[in-house]
A and B are shown apart, each in its own frame.
Chain A
């Protein structure tokens, strides 16, 4: 939209996004041009372009791709999209935790948005895994 500031994806938790190996690559010979990847990606990030004449998707803004996401790859029935191995971003995630950066960011987020805090009864945590879902509906637990 005119006049609207473009979101800045140049940093990922303080790291320079350009140094992080993560983004889709399309094998044009497999792409049938269904278009699903294009709209799987959010409007905000809008990583893909589309060639209507050739009927193929094309990676336009790889630097906007969200680190750790591969929703476009998952949706492609023709397996035309590939990503780098996930171990790279997993070790970056570990760095964020070990350096205390994630804790710091979390505290900031909770301070800014106190509604994220929940009070839950202790029995809630008795089970190792938790299910609070009725399949047909989103259950909102708010304090």
Chain B
């Protein structure tokens, strides 16, 4: 079965990094940063290769943001791209269910904003107390 993005078929969309080899210095940061197994390494040239484009996360540009040479580009502006997918695929039906599943699985993420703010304040207080 092919991958889906909140119900949308991943295979219907083009989203993956493209490396400009005239800029790439082969530092390897992109390969090291991607958690989705998109890159392979070419020993002959000492550069990364986009080998699993379909595994790239829709709208992600993490590797491009970290690339010191700005050698990585994407087919579209990420926000613009995802917006079109979200609207076209009406993903919010799936999102609602996935949100519930996530909160059921990790019940301590079902929170009240006041509590979270109180915790954060207490944590800050602790840190200040430790400092003084």
Contact = CB atoms under 8 A, between A and B. Distances in A.
Contacts of A96: 27, 29
Nearest to B29: A102
- Range class of the A interface residue count: 35 or more
Contacts of B22: 128
Nearest to A108: B32
Contact of B66 (A36, A56, A93, A116): A93
A94 B68 contact: yes
B122 interface: no
A138 B113 contact: no
A13 B31 CA distance: 13
Chain B interface helix/strand/loop/mixed: mixed
Contacts of B63: 68
Contact of B32 (A102, A133, A136): A102
B99 A35 contact: yes
Contact of B50 (A49, A51, A132): A132
A46 to B, nearest CB: 6
B18 A131 contact: yes
A89 B65 contact: yes
B83 A77 contact: yes
A11 interface: no
Interface of A: 13, 28, 34-36, 38-39, 42-43, 46, 48-54, 56, 58, 60, 66-71, 74-75, 77, 86, 89-90, 93-94, 96-97, 102-103, 105-106, 109-110, 116-120, 122, 124-125, 128-133, 135-142
7 contacts: A39-B102, A43-B106, A46-B106, A46-B109, A106-B27, A125-B47, A136-B11
Interface of B: 6, 11-14, 16, 18-22, 25, 27-29, 31-33, 35, 39-45, 47, 49-55, 57, 59-63, 65-68, 78-79, 82-83, 86, 91-92, 95-96, 98-99, 102-103, 105-106, 108-113, 116
